[in-house]
């Protein structure tokens, strides 16, 4: 929301009241309360008449986090929903000195200056950012009467801004206007399915605006030296989170909003779909599955998209009897082939579906203000929308999910959740419809995920979700929505994933080769390599099938090669997944998360780190040419062991069976002994690949079991030409050395644990 016209002038439709000076200040227990005058009053009697004032309260919900509340009218309605924030007791110091009033939490401090108006935020004594002149404000639109609250935080020279959800616009958000409003806009526009009012910068802090409404961000756009954020109403609340490193910021952010659950290991395998509008029945499905098996391509999950139900009935949770006359038997047969089964759902109920009348009669749908059911013809004729704030409606919906789970369905694709009405509607719990628009996605995915968890047990729940808001990372996994079958769309998909990773989403996927149109074979093959070097990998399209032999025979080879590689990488990938679950740091990581001091790494949006140690640079060209950047150190090519010094750009040409996949120096990559499935006994047949460990350096790796608990731990130390290892594993494994000339394969006992064999 832009309120100004240039640096000095206010837009003519707005009346602006800016915090101008400290009128009065006082500690409130562990908080600091400031009454801010909106024009110079100077303590003079009478100068404070007919003047708006802003109440500013600073507190701390967790160590190294400050919470800022700016209020104009305290009596204004404050209806929910509100983000589910996990607060904890923390030591807070509120003091006053010659500079002004201070509040400190851990290594983070805010100083409210008494001279003029400025709030400085410092981390370890270093200035992070400030809210200063024309920062905190109340705005009123003279034409509509609508009111807004805003603040703006300073940007330093060279300070980049990241995050704000799954955005397909440029990765660096500086210069952009971002509206936090979930919409179904595909991946080729400024609209986004997953809008998160959280950003972080390269200076070691992040900001979460604590409002589920349509937060508006001006990121160095209205005022080029600031990030401004505004919300409708009379209150603005935000968290300022200190790192100091970017991974520390994400760890603290996810401690507040929730850590991702650990998905089951089987979900990391290859998913194959019916696609959307294609013709299919059990014979079609079985033919595709047999074709994958005959070609040696490991398949883990089969997904049934919308038309598992009859048209104009979505969602009634009933298999189309003309296409699938024996669904329970079919699911049993698919399980017999070693596959899990996923089915498509959404929270909308077509008027001609079997459940519409029951839901309408019992009041389970979002209603108009006159009490009638809100309906639309967009998507499904006469459809209504489930009222997720009504516990009875949620239980009714989840009861049908339980029925499907009882027949053998393993998980659900939770599509949509963005087309949620806001005008002239009401919710059962009285929630503000504007704030429910984005928050709907949280409640929707939560109820589905928790239902699977209750029925299948801990560690077995996974959804394939499209919409999200802050906290939605708790319910993995998420996919990038409707992309096109081009290299440009492949690149924008990656930008969306990188931006979402900055918001703590640990598990993310996309439709390999694009959803819209049908990719040429060269795009399919490049996208398959990219899609299988992530956590969740799905072949899915709109009007055509995505099995590889329909593209060309080399596509079969490429898909088989990278699917088998992913299965072997599972000890490494699942250990990274455990880290995401426990710490909040995503598995797919923007380069700046791992290399925050590298100025080039801060700007990269066509490559990423997969876990701590693997650098992936997808190929976005028909020629196979690719440019990528290596940070400092001796990197090793995963494919051929060729070593390359970092700190520079590389230009290479790759065939379809490879892409730049580089191993970070000092890493240990555990490779499993199974290449036919993602869920197996990871220590069995394990090989440990040690890369460029220097004399005196140490490295360690934990190999998890299928519950995410440690199954085997290995500690390495290089001492000259000897490699010392300590392990608690009782199973033999192979150690392979890379980039370590002169080091013998001699492994010595270290400590009280057993030798390697």
What residues are annotated to the active site?
415, 418, 482
Over the Cα atoms of the chain, what is R_g?
27
The two structure tokens encoding residue 109: 């401090």
Q: Which tokens is 514 given?
A: 């694009």
| 62 token code pair | 């967790």
Beta bridge mates, 178: 217
Q: Given the structure tokens 């398959």, which residue do they identify?
A: 528
SS3 content of the chain, % helix, strand, coil (to 5): 20, 30, 50
> Under DSSP, is residue 387 helix (H, G, I), strand (E, B) or coil?
coil
d(CA 331, CA 311): 21
How far, in Å, are 377, 397, 521 from residue 551 at the CA level?
A: 36, 40, 5
Determine the Cα–Cα distance for residues 248 and 555; give it in Å rounded to an integer.
Answer: 40
Residue 410: its H or E element: none
Alpha-carbon distance values, 241 to 289, 338, 472 (Å): 48, 45, 19
DSSP secondary structure of 488-557: HHHHHHHHHHHHHHTTT---EE-BTT-SBS---HHHHHHHHHHHHSSS-EEE--SSS---GGGT-HHHHH
The DSSP annotation for 226-260 comes to: EEEEEEESSEEEEEEEE-SSHHHHHHHHHHHH-PP
On whether the CB atoms of residues 17 and 73 are closer than 8 A, the answer is: no
Contact 617, 606 (CB under 8 A): yes
* Count of CB atoms situated within 10 Å of the CB of 12: 8
The Cα 427–Cα 434 span in angstroms is 11
């Amino acid at each position: 929301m832009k309120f100004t016209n240039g640096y000095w002038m206010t837009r003519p439709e707005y009346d602006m009241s800016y915090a101008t000076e400290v009128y009065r200040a006082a500690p409130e227990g562990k908080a600091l309360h400031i009454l801010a005058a909106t024009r110079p009053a100077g303590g003079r009697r009478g100068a404070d008449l007919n003047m708006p004032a802003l109440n500013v309260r600073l507190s701390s919900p967790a160590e190294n986090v400050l919470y800022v509340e700016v209020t104009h009218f305290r009596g204004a309605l404050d209806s929910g929903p509100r983000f589910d924030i996990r607060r904890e007791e923390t030591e807070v110091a509120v003091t006053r000195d010659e500079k002004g009033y201070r509040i400190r939490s851990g290594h983070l401090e805010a100083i409210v200056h008494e001279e003029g108006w400025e709030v400085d935020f410092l981390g370890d004594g270093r200035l992070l950012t400030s809210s200063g002149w024309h920062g905190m404000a109340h705005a009123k639109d003279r034409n509509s009467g609508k009111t807004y609250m805003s603040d703006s935080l300073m940007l330093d020279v060279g300070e980049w801004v990241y995050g704000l959800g799954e955005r397909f616009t440029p990765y660096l958000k500086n210069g952009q206007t971002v509206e936090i409003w979930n919409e179904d806009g595909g991946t080729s526009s400024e609209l986004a399915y997953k809008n998160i009012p959280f950003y972080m910068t390269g200076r070691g802090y992040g900001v979460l605006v604590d409002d589920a409404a349509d937060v508006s961000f001006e990121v160095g756009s209205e005022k080029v030296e600031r990030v401004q954020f505004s919300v409708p109403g009379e209150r603005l609340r935000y968290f300022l989170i200190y790192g100091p490193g970017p991974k520390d910021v994400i760890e603290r952010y996810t401690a507040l909003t929730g850590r991702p659950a650990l998905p089951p290991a089987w979900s990391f395998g290859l998913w194959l779909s019916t696609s959307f509008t294609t013709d299919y029945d059990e014979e079609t499905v079985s033919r595709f599955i047999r074709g994958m098996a005959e070609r040696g391509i490991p398949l883990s999950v089969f997904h049934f998209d919308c038309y598992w139900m009859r048209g104009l009935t979505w969602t009634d949770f009933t298999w189309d009897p003309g296409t699938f006359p024996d669904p329970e038997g079919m699911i049993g047969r698919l399980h017999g082939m070693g596959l899990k089964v996923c089915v498509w759902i959404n929270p909308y109920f077509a008027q001609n579906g079997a459940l519409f009348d029951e839901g309408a009669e019992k009041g389970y749908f979002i209603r108009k203000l006159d009490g009638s059911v809100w309906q639309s013809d967009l998507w499904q004729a006469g459809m209504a929308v489930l009222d997720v704030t009504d516990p009875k409606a949620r239980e009714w919906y989840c009861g049908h999910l339980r029925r499907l789970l009882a027949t053998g369905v393993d998980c659900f694709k939770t599509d949509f959740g963005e087309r949620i009405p806001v005008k002239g509607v009401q919710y059962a719990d009285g929630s503000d419809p504007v704030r429910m628009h984005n928050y709907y996605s949280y409640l929707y995915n939560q109820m589905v995920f928790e239902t699977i968890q209750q029925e299948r047990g801990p560690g077995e729940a996974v959804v394939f979700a499209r919409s999200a808001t802050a906290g939605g990372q708790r319910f993995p996994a998420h996919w990038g929505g409707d992309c096109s079958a081009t290299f440009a769309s492949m690149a924008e998909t990656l930008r969306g994933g990188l931006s979402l990773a900055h918001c703590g989403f640990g598990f993310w996927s996309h439709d390999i080769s694009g959803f819209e149109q049908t990719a040429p074979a060269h795009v399919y093959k490049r996208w398959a390599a990219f899609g299988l070097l992530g956590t969740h990998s799905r072949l899915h399209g709109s009007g055509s099938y995505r099995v590889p032999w329909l593209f060309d025979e080399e596509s079969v080879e490429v898909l088989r090669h990278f699917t088998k590689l992913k299965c072997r990488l599972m000890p490494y990938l699942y250990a990274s997944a455990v880290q995401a679950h426990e710490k909040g740091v995503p598995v797919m990581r923007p380069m700046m998360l791992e290399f925050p001091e590298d100025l080039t790494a801060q700007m990269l949006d066509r490559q990423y780190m997969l876990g701590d140690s693997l650098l992936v640079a997808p190929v976005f060209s028909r020629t196979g040419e690719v440019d990528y950047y290596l940070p400092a150190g001796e990197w090793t090519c995963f494919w051929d062991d060729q070593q390359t010094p970092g700190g520079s750009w590389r230009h290479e040409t790759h065939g379809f069976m490879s892409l730049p996949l580089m191993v970070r120096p000092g890493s240990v990559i555990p490779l499993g002994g199974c290449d036919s499935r993602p869920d197996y006994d990871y220590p069995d047949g394990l090989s440990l690949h040690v890369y460029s460990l220097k004399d005196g350096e140490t490295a360690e790796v934990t190999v998890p079991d299928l519950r995410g608990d440690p199954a085997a731990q290995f500690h390495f130390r290089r001492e000259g030409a000897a490699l010392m290892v300590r392990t608690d594993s009782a199973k033999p494994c192979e150690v392979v050395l890379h980039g370590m000339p002169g080091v013998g394969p001699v492994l010595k006992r270290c400590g009280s644990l057993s030798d390697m064999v």
